[in-house]
Amino acid sequence: MSKNIEIRLVLIILLLPMIQFAQNKEISLQVFGGSAFPLGDFGNKISYPTEITRRSGFDFGSSTGLATTGYAAGIELTLPVLTDGLGWQTSAKFILSPTDKNTIEEEFSRDPKVNGTLTFETGNWINIPLFTGFSYGIKLSDQFNLFCHIQAGINITKQAYRKAVYTGTVVENTEYNSMTDFGLETGLSIEFNDHYVISVRYLDLGRPRYEGQRYLNEKLFTEIPLRNFTIEAEEKPVTILLLTLGFKL
């Protein structure tokens, strides 16, 4: 089965609950926002040994994400199904994760090949998970409810770009294409006063294989065979912990 067919099937599953329960008066829609904390290699700032290479540019670890604490916002539709407490959820999130350039800038500035000022510019990771799944709620008191949930689906993702300037010349410019992959989410939520929701969500967004373009300049990369390279299947793990505050409309 091709990846395009798989993605279409996931989108159909995302839409099914909206069709089936469109007349249900107990549908709830939550809007939320909060902080996104990178986990594991996604949040690493460098991996050793580092190397200045003739094809990969500045190599600071094949799995290193450089991500720092970012921001998340989203919406989540919950539809009651089968029994009390059980809900079918469909959600969409936008997650922006800035990157930390300081560690790699300090490390590569000490490399023997670098005899001048070297600075980096790095962008933001973007992840847009479109998930569906189930939640189950337990009434704790008249004011508080506890929910656990699990969701899965597709993630639209783009890796952060990077640019390196050496003594006034751009010696590397790496840009990545947007792509889709699959992901999984689990979480716990506490609802209070019937409207407010505090959630902790763990997102495993897999190991996307990013493609893109890399430009290198011979001012620093003296042995490069070409200036422009195509990036194929650069694998990076993406795991994120979200802490959000939501409001049920």
Average pLDDT for consecutive 10-residue bins of the chain (249 residues)? 60 50 63 97 85 79 90 95 86 97 88 88 96 92 92 96 91 93 96 93 95 89 81 91 95
Per-residue pLDDT, 122:
92
Q: State the pLDDT at residue 12.
A: 55
User: What is the distance between the alpha carbons of residues 52 and 112, in angstroms, rounded to a whole number?
Assistant: 10
| C-alpha span between 215 and 72 (Å, rounded) | 31
Q: How many CB atoms lie within 10 A of CB 191?
A: 22
Question: Helix (H, G, I), strand (E, B), or coil: what is residue 106?
Answer: helix
- Say what the pLDDT of residue 14 is: 53
| pLDDT for 21 | 41
Task: Give dist(CA 106, CA 64) in Å, integer.
Answer: 16
> What is the C-alpha to C-alpha distance for residues 30 and 14, in angstroms, rounded to an integer?
16
Output the pLDDT for position 111: 86
Beta-carbon-side half-sphere exposure of residue 30 (alpha carbons within 13 Å)? 25
Burial annotation 11-27 (CB, 10 A radius, 16+ → b, else e): eeebeebeeebeeeeeb
pLDDT at position 15 is 53
Please state, in angstroms and as integers, the Cα–Cα distance from residue 57 to each residue in 84, 158, 184, 231, 236, following that order.
56, 19, 32, 11, 17
Structure tokens at 147: 């929910």
The answer to whether residues 46 and 62 touch, using CB atoms and an 8 Å cutoff, is no
Predicted pLDDT of residue 136:
92
What single letter denotes the amino acid at residue 241?
Answer: L
Instruction: Give pLDDT, residue 4.
Output: 65
For residue 185, what are the contacts with CB-CB under 8 A and spacing of at least 6? Answer: 129, 131, 133, 149, 150, 151, 152, 201, 202, 203, 204
Domain annotation for the chain: domains and CATH numbers: 3-18+36-248 (2.40.160)
